[in-house]
Amino acid sequence: QVQLQESGPGLVKPSETLSLTCTVSDGSISNYYWSWIRQPPGKGLEWIGYIYSSGSADYNPSLRGRVIISVDTSKNQFSLNLSSVTSADTALYYCARMRGVGATRGWFDPWGQGTLVTVSS
């Protein structure tokens, strides 16, 4: 059964870049879509973006311009970079595999346990 694990710094300074990696184990990253989702404290879940194993990606318009998701199939990993962070980017960040085919894709299974990233000086 595929498992996902987020890793990266738990503290990032304002204006810097938040970088997280999701490692996929017990399964291949190839031929699937992979996503990042976050939840700020006391707020709802927000989809950040997705990447296909070939490298094509799409992002939430609310974050477009600050976010880049990349994939490294040789390491079975995909990564999130979010630039110019502020305290509003403090959140629990999850990685997840996106399921479904074509126009029916868009639900998530499985998810990682999440990693808390705090933006503070």
Partner 1 sequence: EIVMTQSPATLSVSPGESATLSCRASQSVRSKVAWYQRKPGQAPRLLIYGASTRATGIPARFSGSGSGTEFTLTISSLQSEDFAVYYCQQYNNWPVTFGPGTKVDIK
- Of 14-22, 26-34, 80-88, 98-106, which segment contacts partner 1 by CB under 8 A? 98-106
Structure tokens at 62: 């609310």
- Of 14-22, 23-31, 66-74, 101-109, which segment contacts partner 1 by CB under 8 A? 101-109
Binding mask 55-74 for partner 1 (x = CB under 8 A): ---x-xxx------------
Which amino acid is present at 95?
C
CB of 58 to partner 1, least distance (A): 7
Local structure of 87: helix, strand or coil: helix
22 binds partner 1 (CB under 8 A): no
φ/ψ of 98, rounded to 5, equals -90, 135
Structure tokens at 119: 């933006």
Q: 88 — alpha (psi -120 to 50), left (phi > 0) or beta? A: alpha
Binding residue (CB under 8 A) for partner 1 from 54, 81, 100, 116: 100
113 binds partner 1 (CB under 8 A): yes
CA distances in angstroms from 45 to 16, 26, 53, 85, listed in the order given: 23, 26, 24, 18
The binding site for partner 1 (CB under 8 A) comprises: 4, 44-47, 58, 60-62, 94, 96, 99-100, 104-114
